[in-house]
Structure 1
Amino acid sequence: MAYQFVIIPFHAFINHYGRAAPYLPRVAVIVPAWNEGAVIGASIERLLSLDYPADALRIYVVDDASTDDTAEVVLAMAALHPGRVFHLRREQGGEGKAHTLNHGISAVLAEDWMQALLIMDADVIYLPDSLRRMTRHLADAEVGAVTAFIREGSSDRNFLTRFIGLEYVLAQAASRRAQNVLGAIACLAGGAQLHSRTNLEAIGGRIDTTTLAEDTVTTFRTQVAGRRVVFEPYAVVLAEEPHRIAALWKQRLRWARGNVQVTTMYRRLWFRPSKQHRLGSISFGVFWFSIFLLPVAMVLSTIGLVGLFLLESDLAAAVFRSTWALATCTYVFAMVLGVQLDPKTGRSSWREAILFPGVISIVVLISAFFPGLIDHVVPGWFGVEVTPAAVTAWTLFVYAWITLSMVAAWLVKLVDSTRVGRIFSPLLTYIVGYGPILCAVTVDSYIKEWRGAARTWDKTEKTGRVLG
């Protein structure tokens, strides 16, 4: 994380803007929709009002055998805007987003009109200038695809959506700038993928249906074939995100399992530099696996530290203090830089920025940075004598918490799933941390893939609460 965030400022000098130019290709927008009657009408209206030439924009809603009034809403919009809005119906639904997209892609590619294809979700909102900002990168024939910054945009935010909003700043507005510098992008956002027709045809004219991460596979295929993928941080797309931990867990479990599948699928690519693409670079591999294997590193850290402590090795304390001191500096630097990249989110999520790793981890960070904290502050503030046994117990807890935080995160999910527990889940999340929840989801994805659990594409429930 320190390496990644140190790279970010170089994006001011190493970027694609020098090869971008005003470019307004004919764009076909594919909107996969299953029971989106509550949001699809407003989504179409907002797309039609984009700051983009009307004769160069068509909207294709792929109705995945919806059982609500999605079809009626889309057909009504098509009647109001003939030649601009189209309804494509799938009679067999429920096979997943990739199958739905492929139905629309095949219909669009059958005609010569489309020059670029935008894949989005039914509930997201593109800011008026976002599409223009994305298409300018396609003026460079070497660019195959462009993605935007997905910002959490729920109108009724709660503690969880504020955490998600901050996470998106760190994982997109920040990290993808670093990926732009490296020339290797990890993933086109599922709700904001702009492809040139040439790129779409080159990758087979279809989206991968064998994994739960069709957007990541498409991103990798584009780059492996030698075309560039660009992240446009100033093209902003608002999205509604889960308000409950159970819904977040279901969404992120699908993403995490998809990453496990992609990691396996491209196992011969990692750490093998290539002249054709940069996905095999050492830096990109470090970025990818630092997230993918973070839970493993946490468990190994606990085992190593506790083992050294039980051997009465002074190395344990020295290693712990130095690494957690570095972690503290990295955490502060990343949060300060991140909130500056998106001040709006920073103002609304400043508490979450402070408590992202959780109250307990914050205490651990402070005690690691100031080793005498327990010996001096606790007796002075609370009048409690700190015995050697207490110091030993605290030390073992600190070493164990690196791993136990993921267990605690799983317990927070269980508490949140009960009606009474929902009252306490915000407080528990702040104590345990949002980061450990994401790590616990990753562990769950390991288990699900190891057990060969069914690969079902569970749709995240949306209610149309995105800010207009």
Structure 2
Amino acid sequence: MSAALPTEPLGWLLSIIVLLGAIPMFVSATGHVLAGLHRVRDHYRQADGAYQPRVAVIVPAWNEASVLEHSIERMMALDYPSDKLRLVVVDDASTDDTPQIAREAVRRYPGRVVHLRRERGGQGKAHTLNHGLAHVLADDWAEAVLITDADVVFTPTAIGRMGRHLADPSVGAVMGFIREASEPAHWVGRYVGFEYATAQLAMRRAQNVVGVQGCLAGGAQMLSRANLEAIGGRIDTTTLAEDTVTTMQTQLGGRRVVFDPNAECWAEEPASLVALWKQRLRWARGNLQVTRRFRSVFFRRSNEHHLGNWWFGTMWFSTLYLPAFMIAASVALVVLWFVDQGPAHIAFQLYWGLSTLLFIFGTTFVLLLDRRVAYQSWLAALTFPGLVNLLILAVMLAPRPMDALAGQVMPTFGVTWDDRARAIAVLLAYAWTGAAMLAGWLVYRADRVAWLRPVVPALVLVVGFGPVLCAVSIAAYVAEARGAASTWDKTEKTGKVRTS
């Protein structure tokens, strides 16, 4: 097969579609470059470490008996003035021991812990938060509100580091860095740990640099009172992504949202693909709903905010529709293979060559950002795209040695490594970009079958954690297209996190 440029319009069109599939990876790489500029484009110079606002911490709690007591004790022990920190536990009609635990905390910490109870529960986090906000904003004590989850544990200095940014009146909200810290550690958590480092330590730093943030971390968001009152004193209840709506509303009102990577907290994450799928499906559907709601702000310049920033918009949509980019590239390659293999080979080489370079750059960058993530999740980072994709990357880096290796290995499986076998292998490689997401969905289905569950970690190693997340996005597209009910599914937690 000889490589050649397309000679027909169809060949050029398909080749362009393939190369467009690299846009999400390119945008991610530019985000890493921008993150490198964070040292000179951060908000620390405008922050004031001596500023310690009175903070009301709202914890929505729906059957959180397994996690609540530990979280309360850690919150009460933070390195923050006790007279400036008040914890409001909003009991969402819990049927376990949550009310008793909250009442006991009120007894132990009078004036510092407040217990509110909703008689009608299960409506979702936003409704529960609004119950708490109505109480907090009813008087003028709170100067800031920290919204968190019952399982999140903050480092001793985290609230102080977040609050210092609110000394700048132009800042409406601050978010901290949420670390994955499940105890005992599990294989899903290692992948999530690397994913969180990528999304927060790298990409949120980049968003700080360009002056716009996409989403306040749901478990670590501090909002100024002025900002809360400006957006109506309530959290959105019409979508599954109330934290993202709050982020957008804050910036549309002309106030900044800042990420502080030094304000750390620990959180437990789902230990199975089934639990993770439920959580991420809610997130993905919420992002689609938010995109529809705020579609008029993207790529539109404004003097009030930076939501129209071109890089931010490209990042947002390339992430949101990453599976569509991947499927389009894969289909175009397969069609090219049948129409004209020469141009297909060039398009494939360019697509995967760029993918290889960006994967190496991005993975190395994130692992260098944080020693803990590098130590705990290095294998998850290297295998995030899956062994099949890594095999293709290896072929791109060393085509002749890999061809020789295949010539030695394939005969043991009864396959003669000739031109025909090579052509079939190439076609399968072309198709894999799109097929990987189907494989990811099948792995998720396998996790629902008890006798298959033990092999699921090995299957994820082969298929890749990234393709599984992309499969979740496709499921979200389908659910939104079908108009499926938007219900809040609680993620079950055990209450055990590593805090050192």
TM-score band (shorter)? over 0.9
Contact 2:394 2:402 (C-alpha < 8 Å) held by counterparts: no
Structure 1 unaligned spans of 5+:
none
Matched, 1:443 2:443: no
1:264 match? 292
TM-score relative to the length of structure 2: 0.92
Match of 1:413 in 2: 444
Question: Partners in 1 of 2:133 and 2:403 — Cα distance?
Answer: 65
- The reply to whether residue 107 of structure 1 matches residue 135 of structure 2 is yes
Alignment of 1:380-459 (within 5 A): 380=408, 385-459=416-490
Structure with the larger RCO, 1 or 2 (CA within 8 Å, 6+ apart): 2
Equivalents in 1 of 2:294, 2:151: separation in Å? 31
Deviations 1:387-441 (A, max 9, x none): 1211111111011100110000111011111111111000000000000011000
Alpha-carbon displacement from aligned partner over 1:262-315 (angstroms, at most 9, x marks no partner)? 111111111112121111111001111111011101111011111111112422
On the 8 A contact 2:384/2:466 being kept in 1, the answer is yes
Preserved CA contact (<8 Å) 1:324 1:369: no
Residue 493 of structure 2 is aligned to residue 466 of structure 1: no
Q: Output one character per residue of 1:49-77: Cα deviation in whole Å (capped at 9) or x when no partner.
A: 11000000000000000001111111111
Inter-partner Cα distance in structure 1 for 2:410 and 2:466: 30
Moved >4 Å (runs of 4+): 380-385
Partner in structure 1 of residue 166 of structure 2: 138
Tell me how large the CA RMSD over aligned residues is: 1.2
* CA displacement 1:9-65 (0-9 Å, x = unmatched): 101111111101121000000000011112111111111111000000000000000
How far the C-alpha of 1:380 sits from its partner, in A, is: 4.8
Letter in 2 for 1:15: D
Is 2:64 the counterpart of 1:33? no
> 2:194, 2:380 within 8 Å by CA — same for their partners in 1?
yes
Equivalent residue, structure 1, for 2:234 = 206
Secondary structure (helix, strand or coil) at the match of 1:11 reads coil
The Cα of 1:370 is off from its aligned counterpart by 3.2
3-state SS in 2 of match to 1:12: coil
Measured after TM superposition, the shift of residue 376 of structure 1 is: 2.9
The size of the alignment, in residue pairs, is: 468
Range that drifts further, 330-339 or 104-113: 330-339
Residue 332 in structure 1 maps to residue 363 in structure 2: no
3-state SS of 1:10 partner:
coil
Determine which of 341, 346, 350 is the counterpart of 2:378: 350
Q: Shift of residue 5 of structure 1?
A: 1.1
Which residue is 2:15 aligned to?
A: none
Secondary structure in 2 aligned to 1:444?
helix
Residue identity matched to 2:55:
V
- Between the aligned partners of 1:69 and 1:379, the Cα distance in structure 2 is 63
Match of 1:408, SS state, is: helix
Deviations 1:82-127 (A, max 9, x none): 1100000100101100000000001100011000000000011000
- Does 2:31 match 1:4? yes
Note if 1:122 corresponds to 2:153: no
Structure 1 distance, partners of 2:343, 2:301, is 36
Instruction: Give the 3-state SS of the residue equivalent to 1:59 in structure 2.
Output: strand
**Paired amino acid for 1:397:** L
Percent sequence identity is 51
The code of the aligned residue for 1:449 comes to E
In terms of mean alpha carbon deviation, does 321-330 or 121-130 score higher? Answer: 321-330
Aligned residue identity for 2:178:
I
Residues 1:84 and 2:115 aligned together = no
- In the TM superposition, what is the alpha-carbon distance from 1:364 to its structure 2 partner? 1.1
Separation in 2, partners of 1:378, 1:118:
56
For 1:12-31, list aligned pairs within 5 A.
Answer: 12-22=39-49, 23-31=51-59
Query: In 2, distance between residues paired with 1:315 and 1:113?
Result: 67
Q: Distance in 1 between matches of 2:498 and 2:393?
A: 36
**Aligned with residue 192 of structure 1, among 201, 220, 223:** 220
